[in-house]
Amino acid sequence: MKFKISTFVKTLILFGLTQILGIYLAMQILPAIGVQTISASSFSLGDFIYLAAIVFLFFFFSIKYPRVGSTIYRVFLSLVIFAAMETFASIWLDPLSSLCLALAVLIIFWLWQSVIVQDVVMIITLGAVGAIFGLSLTPITVVYILIIFSAYDIFAVYVTGHMVKMAEAMIKSRAIFGFIIPSSVKDFGNRMQTVQPGEQFMVLGSGDVIFPLIMTVSLVRTSLTQALIVFVFSLLGILATHLIFVNQKIRRPMAALPPIATLTIIGYLVSRLF
């Protein structure tokens, strides 16, 4: 069995730092948000149909019209980074300073496009997004979300293949919503223009990081111990994903969320014993 310890350690560090930051931000934000959460029963069939239609249209236009898709990716990523950075900064700074810092980070992100800048900005962005959504949802609702999106990930990667096409389009437009994991530490300094998935670089998508974080943060309200148990199991999910990926007979894109989500859900079930 193959095990690329260098690649795994770098993946684990990026994933783990995002989870830790998300938990910390959740603990800082929680007093201001209060106790209101959204349960699975709050969503109707119409809500899911509406969401599915939006997702379909997004994929359709981004794949069929590459130039339009590239613009959509860049605008969407910019909005998410700006909102996440503003949320992150607002914990310590006043509103105006938070907005200025968020804008400065966004400018640096697009002007100084390197792997290290990409990954550092993603740690903060995904940590903030995961903290906000995690505090808004109940744990059982997140379980349903993990199951649904894991099934979708399998369908989109292995059946239709549109997730792979969308990932390729994002990489081409340099609007990558996720982590770039180089095979060598020195490649963290590489420009984003040199990034091509393969032996030298691996991409870990945002959903593979955010969804387990949302599960972890949803437990922060009730028990930090339970949240940390889920966090540990999500790390085991990263290990399982790495082993599956590097031991493929033919190297190809894989649906990373299912093994991560499975271990995360197992962690949630184990945490309920405490």
- The pLDDT tens digits of the residues spanning 149-204 come to 899 889 888 887 767 777 777 777 777 888 999 888 888 888 887 777 666 788 89
| Structural domains of the chain, count | 1
Count of C-beta atoms within a 10 Å radius of residue 232? 15
Chain-wide mean pLDDT for the chain?
86
Residue type, 157: V
Residue type, 266: I
Cα separation, 124 vs 117, in Å, equals 11
Asked whether residue 246 is domain-assigned, the answer is: yes
Asked whether residue 218 is domain-assigned, the answer is: yes
Asked whether residue 11 is domain-assigned, the answer is: yes
Asked whether residue 186 is domain-assigned, the answer is: yes
pLDDT of the residue at 121: 96
Of 183, 266, 236, 216, which Cα lies nearest the Cα of 18?
A: 216
Asked whether residue 262 is domain-assigned, the answer is: yes
What pTM was estimated for this model as a whole? Answer: 0.88
Write down the residue that tokens 């894991």 correspond to. 150
Q: Which domain holds residue 223?
A: 5-30+52-271
Asked whether residue 15 is domain-assigned, the answer is: yes
Strand partners, 137: 38
Asked whether residue 14 is domain-assigned, the answer is: yes
User: Which has the minimum average pLDDT: 59-63, 134-138, 149-153, 157-161?
Assistant: 59-63
- Predicted confidence band of residue 41 (pLDDT cuts 50, 70, 90): low
Cα separation, 100 vs 106, in Å, equals 10
Residue type, 9: V
Strand partners, 38: 137
User: Which has the minimum average pLDDT: 34-43, 94-103, 160-169, 219-228?
Assistant: 34-43
Cα separation, 113 vs 183, in Å, equals 18
pLDDT of the residue at 51: 66
The H-or-E segment that residue 31 falls in is helix 5-33
Asked whether residue 38 is domain-assigned, the answer is: no
